[in-house]
Structure 1
């Protein structure tokens, strides 16, 4: 019974457990981050500053996607050690990380500019 509950027995279950733990941890981190951002968002709505509202609202979705995609790429990296597929090579995963970062920054900037413009025009009128 002691051997069944040991850490060595978890390793014997295979890489499926590792991937399950990574995905579960990723989802928990995303949930906690979104909860904290929700609380922070309520506080920022009370301020008169237009910029903090725009930055916060624009960053919410890209941050959520960033956490999910990085967790998924980590799970793929773990599975690559066992599968050995060229598609999931270290260089391809690094390229995916860089591409993800660039696309999410772009989405943040487009949404930030759009929200800031809308809020400033509302303030002027």
Structure 2
């Protein structure tokens, strides 16, 4: 797969807050490990539905020099800024590796700073 596919996922799903896009970008056997927390497809989908129903908004920027793609793997560095009304935006640095199966994201490993799961903006994110 490609960096372009991963970026399309962030544009369509994250920035637009469209949890229905999970089925378009993620394999049914998907698993994510993020800062030591593991989620399967069902938990990932439910968690995104919960957060996307809030007033949170996202913007994304990419470290253009830190992306590698080969065969069924993509790795990179990016920043996701989250914002909610009456709160200062939070910029989260993300280092990730994604593998693909059948053209869909199958495994995702990421480290973030700060740890996104400890931010108040994700209080509706079930782990």
TM-score with structure 1 length normalisation?
0.26
Bigger share in helix? 1
More strand by share: 2
TM-score (norm 2): 0.26
